[in-house]
């Protein structure tokens, strides 16, 4: 939906900002129209060239609402008069374009179009509105005005309809999504970067069409399209900027009789080839870029749902599920596993001394070192703060557990160099060696927690492995009192 609910016909004569917006839009509309007519027009204002003012007008009314309609009217009216239309025809065409903009606003509100264009649904709504409602409406009524006022002949009416529909459609598809994305993105794309992308795209187009001598639009498409699609996957507004620069630079080449599209017979055919090229490329960019962006957002949402946002590990919500999987894995492979409770020693002093930003970076590096020393089928889960759970699976003997924990303590004992600071971090680990007879997850966590505190009690920077007397396999779950506390054979310092 729209960021702000807009009132219909909310233009205020006393609002200076409304006046400025409308005057700026009118000037830009007029200038863009003169640029388009400089390359080709038929019956005075009907052009096959991508008519960019239509894209500007559509973006403006979707952003600012009906209060921007006077700017659209004035821009089109001035353009029509300057192109040689009579006053009545100029007024009629300006009213038609204003009505088209109002229709776009009403349809967008009706269909709850999100002008951020984050979803494929919104892209398809915008494309459908342009191709099947707005431009057929505009082309039919606009050419009807020209015919009724004697500005166009019956002989070319069908061509005028097509040129109006196609040129305006390409202009809106090319410019409207770009302007909406630039307006709604936070942070907004930098102007310098946009001009840099446009310059690189135009330069590449000049090289391909002149220096390299490419003569086939199909070959040019094979070169340009993968680059634009790849760019749309990284940054969709930049891909649309590149497509716009490609269109404008191609028009310049056509003007001087150079390039791929200058080879067609007749100026109308030349511009039609270019418009068809831009039309198909722009739709592909919009759909591909949006689908890719939706997929990235889905992956991010999945990561937020399943993984700790700071360290990228699984979070405590999935602890019980992973422990259950470990029990299943134990049955399948006829092995054992260990549940280990890891707590960093005196980590609060890191935050107090260097700040939480440095503390977060230390936690990320701690996670990296632990993962690097786990095996591929082991799991690391962050409970929160500086507490982690390690699930060491597929163990045949307790010595294998000793080797893994020794590696982890040794890795963590090395200094951390974070943004010029030298941080010393150690860890205390409490572990419980799980056998097939034990199935109480809460009891296992409690025992591992007690074992971790025993490791801290014995001097920190070490691990303590609790031994559980399971008794009868069908008997009660083991209690913390069943731990062997303490014992040199199960407590070890790295």
Determine the pLDDT at residue 487: 34
Burial label for 89, CB within 10 Å (0-12, 13-18, 19+), is buried
pLDDT at 493: 60
Q: What is the mean pLDDT of residues 175-182?
A: 96
**End-to-end Cα separation, the chain, in angstroms:** 59
Where would I find the H helices in 256-375? 267-306, 319-333, 347-354, 356-373
Longest CA pairwise span in the chain (Å): 104
Report the percent of the chain where pLDDT is more than 90.
65
Taking CA atoms, 252 is separated from 86, 192, 256, in Å, by 30, 22, 7
- The DSSP call for residue 459 is T
Question: Which residues contact residue 29 at a Cβ distance below 8 angstroms, ignoring those fewer than 6 apart?
Answer: 53, 56, 57, 71, 72, 74, 75, 76, 79
Q: Give the best-scoring range by mean pLDDT among 390-394, 466-470, 483-487.
A: 390-394
C-alpha to C-alpha distance for 135 and 143, rounded to whole angstroms: 12
Beta-ladder partners of 464: 430, 491
Integer Cα distance of 17 and 11 in angstroms: 10
CA dist list (Å): 480 to 23, 113, 446, 456, 458: 79, 59, 7, 17, 18
Picking from 28, 115, 15, 20, the residue whose alpha carbon sits closest to that of residue 65 is: 115
* Residues 267-298 pLDDT 10s: 456 778 888 999 999 999 999 999 999 999 88
Residue 152 has pLDDT above 90, yes or no: no
The yes-or-no verdict on residue 216 having pLDDT over 90 is no
Q: Is 396 exposed, middle or buried (0-12, 13-18, 19+ CB in 10 A)?
A: exposed
User: Alpha-carbon distance 417 to 361, whole Å?
Assistant: 10
Query: Percent of the chain having pLDDT more than 70?
Result: 88
Q: 349-390, pLDDT tens digit by residue?
A: 999 999 999 999 999 999 999 999 999 999 999 999 999 999
Domain 314-493 has CATH 3.10.310.40: no
The C-alpha atoms of residue 46 and residue 55 are separated, in whole angstroms, by: 16
Find, among 372, 346, 313, the residue nearest to 461 by Cα: 346
**Mean pLDDT (whole number) for 7-30:** 80
Q: What pLDDT digit, counting tens, does each position of 155-174 carry?
A: 778 888 999 999 999 999 99
Q: Is 268 helix (H, G, I), strand (E, B) or coil?
A: helix
Residues carrying an active site annotation: 386
Collapsing DSSP to helix, strand or coil, 389 comes out as: strand
* Distance from C-alpha of 493 to C-alpha of 470, rounded to nearest angstrom: 27
d(CA 229, CA 223) in angstroms, rounded, equals: 11
Mean pLDDT value across residues 402-422: 94
Do the Cβ atoms of 336 and 435 come closer than 8 Å?
yes
Specify the pLDDT at position 264: 55
For residues 56-68, average pLDDT:
95
**For the segment 431-440, what is each residue's pLDDT rounded down to a tens digit?**
998 876 666 7
Q: Which among 273, 44, 16 has a CA at the least distance from the CA of 142?
A: 44
pLDDT digits (tens, 9 = 90+) for 315-359: 888 888 899 899 999 989 888 899 999 999 999 999 999 999 999
| Cβ 440 vs Cβ 472: under 8 Å | no
Do residues 293 and 236 make contact, with C-beta atoms less than 8 angstroms apart? yes
> Domain residues of the chain, as ranges?
16-304, 314-493
């Amino acid at each position: 939906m729209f960021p702000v609910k807009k009132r219909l016909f909310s233009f205020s004569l006393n609002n200076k900002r409304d006046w400025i917006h409308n005057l700026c839009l009118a000037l830009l509309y007029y200038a863009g129209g003169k640029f388009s007519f400089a390359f080709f027009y038929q019956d005075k204002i009907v052009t096959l060239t991508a008519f960019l003012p239509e894209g500007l007008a559509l973006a403006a009314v979707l952003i600012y609402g009906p209060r921007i309609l006077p700017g659209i009217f004035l821009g089109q009216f001035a353009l029509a008069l300057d192109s040689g239309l009579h006053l009545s025809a100029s007024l009629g065409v300006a009213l038609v374009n204003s009505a088209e903009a109002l229709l776009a606003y009403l349809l967008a509100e009706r269909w709850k179009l999100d002008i951020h264009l984050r979803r494929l649904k919104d892209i398809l709504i915008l494309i459908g509105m342009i191709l099947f409602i707005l431009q057929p409406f505009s082309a039919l009524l606009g050419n009807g005005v020209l015919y009724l006022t004697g500005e166009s002949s019956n002989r070319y009416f069908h061509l005028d309809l097509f040129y109006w529909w196609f040129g305006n459609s390409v202009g809106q598809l090319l410019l409207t999504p770009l302007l909406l994305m630039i307006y709604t993105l936070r942070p907004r794309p930098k102007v310098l970067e946009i001009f840099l992308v446009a310059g690189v795209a135009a330069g590449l187009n000049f090289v391909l069409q002149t220096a390299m001598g490419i003569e086939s639009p199909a070959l040019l498409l094979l070169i340009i399209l993968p680059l634009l699609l790849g760019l749309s996957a990284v940054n969709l507004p930049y891909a649309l900027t590149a497509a716009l620069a490609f269109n404008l630079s191609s028009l310049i080449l056509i003007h001087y009789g150079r390039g791929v599209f200058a080879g067609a017979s007749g100026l109308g055919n030349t511009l039609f080839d270019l418009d068809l090229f831009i039309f198909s490329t722009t739709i592909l960019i919009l759909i591909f870029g949006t689908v890719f962006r939706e997929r990235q957002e889905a992956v991010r949402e999945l990561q937020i749902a399943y993984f700790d946002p700071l360290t990228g590990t699984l979070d405590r919500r999935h602890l019980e599920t992973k422990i259950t999987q470990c029990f299943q894995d134990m049955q399948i492979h006829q092995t054992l596993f260990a549940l280990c409770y890891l707590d960093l020693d005196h980590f609060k002093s890191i935050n107090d001394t260097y700040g939480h930003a440095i503390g977060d970076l230390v936690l990320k590096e701690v996670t990296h070192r632990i993962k690097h020393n786990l095996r591929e089928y082991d799991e690391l889960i962050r409970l929160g703060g500086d507490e982690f759970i390690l699930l060491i699976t597929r163990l045949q003997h307790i010595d294998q557990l000793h080797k893994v924990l020794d590696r982890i303590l040794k890795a963590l004992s090395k200094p951390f160099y974070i943004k010029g600071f030298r941080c010393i971090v150690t860890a205390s680990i409490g572990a419980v060696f799980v056998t097939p007879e034990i199935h109480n997850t809460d009891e296992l966590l409690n025992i591992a927690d007690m074992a971790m505190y025993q490791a801290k009690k014995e001097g920190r920077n070490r691990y303590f492995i609790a031994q559980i007397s399971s008794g009868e396999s069908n008997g009660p779950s083991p209690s913390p009192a069943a731990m062997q506390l303490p014992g040199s054979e199960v407590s070890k310092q790295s």
